[in-house]
Every structure is written in structure tokens, then in C-alpha cells.
A and B are shown apart, each in its own frame.
Chain A
Amino acid sequence: MNVATQRQHAKTLFAQAGLPTKRNEHWKYTDVSHLSDMAQTQSTAQTIQTPTTTLGIQNLDAYVLVFNNGAFVEALSSLPQGVDITSVASLLAEENHKLTDLFTLSGEEPLFNGFLALNAANAADGAAICIKANTKLDKPLYIKHISNQNITLRHGIYFEAFAEAEIIEHYLGVDDNAGLSNVSTNFILGTGAQCKHYRLQQEGSKQSHIGRVEVKQYQDSNYQMHAVELGGALTRADIVVNLAEQGASCSLNGLYVLAGRQHVDHHTRIDHTAPHCTSHENYRTVLDGRSHGVFNGKVVVHEGAIKTDSAQSNGNLLLSKHAQIDTKPELEIYNDDVKCAHGATVGQLDDKQLFYLRSRGISEESAQELLTFAFADAVLASMRNEVVRRYVEQAAFAKLPHGEELEELLA
């Protein structure tokens, strides 16, 4: 099948599947019925005129790829040596065979989750990246997306054997226009490859975001992800990792900081298909106002995947009595020789801790914010890139009146 046929096939699939409904167990808490029109409407890319350099993470020493309303802007990008980077749009134009794998839809999910088929059918652009064997990228690759309309993107990032790189995927809004981002990012990590991946969602207040990250890991490769949810009205992200060969390891870290009526739903799925693989998952949510968080962490340990080591932890802090969290670990284990642990907590700020801080002279409001910050720090502290971490800290807690003075309080 060539790419054009694949995309035609995807259209047919969508016609059959439609968008997922709440009747589907995995979409139970996230209603997307109102997104139907936007999902199927292809906006003509209107270039946003705001200078992109002023948006996003400043002072980040990185190679940059800019996508303005779904279109790659080469002129604003700075690309590294030793890495093949091509826009998906240009590969599509020449019907390049390299795209065949990237646009393949497999498994059962496309049969009920129409967003997958829509993405494959409609993606007009994306980054096709190949980091060559034994190449260690000296600076992070910062993929900056700026949007205020409907966009559909499909990225493919291929790490050859022992390649190492840090990928920062950032979704930024510029205004309160309504739109839907349907974005799929596909990683393949070759033997011994190492990928650090930051995925920051900070879109406009009326933007909805359907994201998908798929990772296939070969022997001894390592994938570390931090997914940060700050903006948008409704976000659904599916993060799917296949530990396909012996010794592969991944860690998935997530942080939501939500308020108002924001809704964020992450479904993660880790397949342990090979022996001696390790997976760690740590998700924290801070929910204020009438926001609604959903976390579903599924781990499937397949029959031959002996000596699997898997741990999952999910902590949820409800700052308002109207905020809501639905959290569910799902473990499916098909062999005896495994170590699996999971735990979820839901709570409010601790009265004893609050009193302790106040008795040391910290005002009530500052003490509340400080404890909130400290709670999120369980995920923030594991971000190795300091510039990214500081950016996230500031973005997440800028809304707090004492955000600035609290910063240095962090352990």
C-alpha cells in the first residue's frame, strides 16, 4: 500500500468508526461529541503573525522546529547536523515510501477511536526525524507548535541504534479561538537508544487537544517522558509504549495543573512484551475550580515477559470541593515471574502541614500554595532539563499570587 492508499483507507475507517463515545470504557469520562465538526473540518492554515521567538521557553539552548498552525516553518527553524529532518508535507508531496510505516494503522483501536483514522487521513504535516546511529545530539530538539485553529499533525521520530537525544514537544496557544489539535507522535527507539521526551500542552483556553504518543522500544533502549498539562479546555492524550525487546526501560511522568472547567484525560498503556524490561510511572494532578482529571494507567505483562519490573504511582490533590478526579490502574499479568506495584491517592492539603508552616510564620495562603507546589514537585524534580523545569514551574504557578516568592522554597 502506498501512502495515498493508506490515507484513503483511513478515511474509510473513520467513516465506519466515528468518534469514540462515552459508551466505550476507555472514553467513559471524556465526552468528545461536541468536537465532531471540528475534528472533521480542515482549516486552511492561517499563519499566526506573533513572532514565534517570543513564545514558549526562553533561554533554551536548543535546535528548534517551528510549526505555525500546523505547517512547518523552515525559515524559523534551526536544525542540527547528523540528523535527518524532513517535513512530512514534503514527503507527502513526493509520495515518499518512508512514510509507509508512519501512516500504518494497526491493531483494534482504529476501529473504535476515529481520531486515529482522522489523524492518518488528514495530517498535512509533521516532522520526520531520524537520529543516526551512535549520534548524541548536543542540544535538545525543541518542536514548538503555535496554533489557534484546527490542526492535524503526524510526527515520526526514529532513533537508530545508540542514538541519544532530548525532544521537547510544546503546544502553545496565542488567543482564545476555538480549535482542535489532533497530533500523533511516533517514536521508534533502536537498540541502546536513549530518548528524553518532554511534552507540554499549553494551548488557548478554548482549544481542545487530542494527542497520541506511540513508542516502540528495542533492546536496552530507554525512554523518559514528562507530560505536562497546563492549558486548553479539553485534552485527551493516549501514551502507548511497547517494550518490545529485552532490557528496554521507560518512565512516564505526568503533571496536570488545572482550574476552571478544564478537562484532561491521560490513558497510558505499557506493554511488556519482552523479558527484563522496566517501567515506571509517576503522575500527579493538582485540580482546582471545577476541573476534571482522568488518569488510566494500564500495564500489560505478556506471557514471555519474565523479570518484568513495573511500578506505578498516581497522586491527586483536590484544591476545591468541585474538582474531580477519576483514576484507575489496570494491570494485566500473564506470567508469574514479575514485580508489579501500583498505588493511587486522592487528597486535599494536609491540615497538620498547613498548621506547621503557619506556626513558623508563613501566611495561610502562602502555606497552601507552598504545599501545592511541593506536591507537584514530586514530578517536577525528576525533570533533568533545568530550563524546562523552571519554565513549567513558572507557567504552572504563575497564577498563584505568591508564586514568585515561593520558588526558592522548593527543596
Chain B
Amino acid sequence: MLVIKDLHASVDGKEILKGINLTIHAGEVHAIMGPNGSGKSTLSNVIAGRDGYEITSGSVIYKGKDLLALSPEERAWEGVFLAFQYPVEIPGVNNTYLLKAGLNAKRKHFGEEELDAFDFMKMVKEKAKVVQLDPSFLSRSVNEGFSGGEKKRNEIFQMAVLEPSLAILDETDSGLDIDALRIVAGGVNTLRSKDNAIVMVTHYQRLLNYIEPDFVHVLAGGKVLKTGDKSLALELEDRGYDWLLTEEANAA
């Protein structure tokens, strides 16, 4: 589904990603872990298409297409979804209609009929249950006045409605208490299927207790240093990242 080859990206002339290689298939859950400043968020943003990153070399092929050539909205239509680390508040823009407009834009892009308003509302109410989002949040402005945990739940709710093929969860666990974490993780697990892939970007192994990954990658210094299964995450939890960095230094 996603093949990243030797991806180099810079911000303001400073190279952050220094040759990322990653292959993700449908049905898989990947965890990308790493210390602060390792390039985790940059990788998420580059995949979602945020401005301000210069791709100096490498490629990202998604479902056979050059992902980097697509605008953020085209990526969304093709099924890429980013759950933001810091979801932005948008006063005056209704939470539900944002999703309706997003879905309708996608349908229009593929030459399909617009959604029926009644069916849409029914579907949205069902999906809100996935993350136990109070229905009153549906009619509020996007993230406005939401607590940190509510914002993260809202991200997963949006994911449930938009049904992406590739979902990137950028530090969705950060700032969540254990109850909220359970709810969010439960929501993500419900959305797991053989047709979609999920990439969890996180500092902590904690989230992986609730969403079990098929692969764990350690990102440091803008490169994937090590790839393993979920036991790698446990090892990181025990030993921290330093041993990996030392290993890398020794190998070099």
C-alpha cells in the first residue's frame, strides 16, 4: 500500500529525514517509535502533505501513485488520514459538516452521488459511539473548547467516518489519561481491518499494550534504525533508546 524509499526531507534547509525506507501492506499495523527530534512528526506531515517540508530525494508510492505529487485534499480522497498530534481549533466551522463536506468532495472526485443527509447523520451518530463521543460534540465547532482527550477522541471519530485506507496516528496517545487511552485505543481496534493499514507514531510503549502492532520501527536521527515485532517495543521500554544509538554509532 505504501512504499517509502530513501526519503530525505528538510525544513528551512536543515535535513530532518535522512533516508527513510518503509513498506506497509494492507491489514498491517505499524508502530514508529523514537526519541524527541528523531523525525517522527516530520514523516507523518510529509505523508499527509503539509507545507514547509522540502523533499530533497527519495519517493513515496501509495497504491501505485506518487503520493508526493498530490495535494493534501487529493491524498485525503485517496484514503490517507492523519490524526493530528495537536488538533487545531476552528471556531465557526461545524464538526459534522466538515466531515460531510470532506466526504462529498471525495465522492465528487470519484464521480459519485452526494451523500444523503439523513443516512449521513445516522452513520455519524453510529461512529461517534466508537470513541464514546457525546453526540453534543457533533454540532459544536471543530475542536473548539474541547479538552486534550476530547480532541484526540474527535480525531479517531473523524477517522471512523472518513474510513481511510492508511491512517497515521501522530502521538495520539500523548496527553491522554489511562481511561481516555483505553477508549481511543478501543476505537482504533474497531477500525482495524484487512483492507486498511494503521501507522502509530509514538514515544511510549504504553499505547502498544492496547493496540498491538505487527511491526515496530525505531526512528532516530532521521533514519529507521531497527525494525522488529512488538517485543522490540518492550525492549525499548526496558532499555531506552540509547543502546540503539550506540549500536548505530559503532556500526558506522
Q: Which A residues form the contact surface with B (CB < 8 A)? A: 350-353, 355-364, 366-367, 370-371, 373-375, 377-378, 381, 405-406, 408-411
Contact = CB atoms under 8 A, between A and B. Distances in A.
A264 to B, nearest CB: 22
Contacts of B73: 358-359, 361-364, 367
A357 B98 contact: yes
Contact of B92 (A351, A357, A378): A378
A411 B48 contact: no
B25 to A, nearest CB: 23
A366 B101 contact: yes
Contacts of B97: 408-411
Contacts of A366: 101, 105
Contacts of A375: 92
Interface of B: 48-51, 71-73, 75-77, 81-82, 84, 87-88, 90-95, 97-106, 139-142, 158, 162
Contact of A374 (B76, B90, B100): B90
Contacts of A367: 73
Contacts of B87: 356
Main SS class of interface, A: helix
Given A355-B51, A378-B92, A405-B101, A361 B141 contact: no
Contact of A411 (B50, B72, B94, B158): B94
Given A359-B76, A363-B73, A411 B101 contact: no
Best-surrounded residue of B71, B77, B92 (most CB of chain A within 10 A) = B92
A358 B71 contact: yes
Contacts of A405: 101, 104
A362 B94 contact: no
B15 to A, nearest CB: 22
Contact of A359 (B48, B106, B141): B48
Contacts of A353: 88, 90
Contacts, number: 97
B105 A409 contact: no
A371 B90 contact: yes
A96 B171 CA distance: 76
Contact of B101 (A359, A377, A409): A409
A405 B101 CA distance: 8
Contact of A358 (B72, B91, B162): B72
12 contacts: A352-B88, A356-B142, A358-B76, A360-B76, A362-B101, A370-B93, A410-B92, A411-B92, A411-B93, A411-B94, A411-B97, A411-B140
Contacts of A361: 73, 76-77, 101-103, 105-106, 162
Contacts of B75: 359
Q: Which 7 A-B pairs have the closest CB atoms?
A: A374-B92, A361-B102, A361-B76, A411-B94, A358-B72, A377-B92, A360-B102
Contacts of B101: 361-362, 366, 370, 405-406, 409
A374 B144 CA distance: 13
Interface centre among A356, A381, A409, A410 (most CB of B within 10 A): A356
B74 to A, nearest CB: 9
A406 to B, nearest CB: 8
A351 B51 contact: yes
B71 A364 contact: yes
A409 B93 contact: yes
A356 B88 contact: yes
Contacts of A358: 49, 71-73, 76
Nearest to A370: B93
A92 to B, nearest CB: 47
B106 to A, nearest CB: 5
B93 A374 contact: yes
Nearest to A378: B92
B221 to A, nearest CB: 26
A135 to B, nearest CB: 37
Nearest to B109: A361
Contacts of B162: 360-361
A350 B93 CA distance: 14
A360 B98 contact: yes
A156 B95 CA distance: 45
Nearest to B103: A361
A405 B103 CA distance: 13
Nearest to B107: A361
Nearest to A373: B92
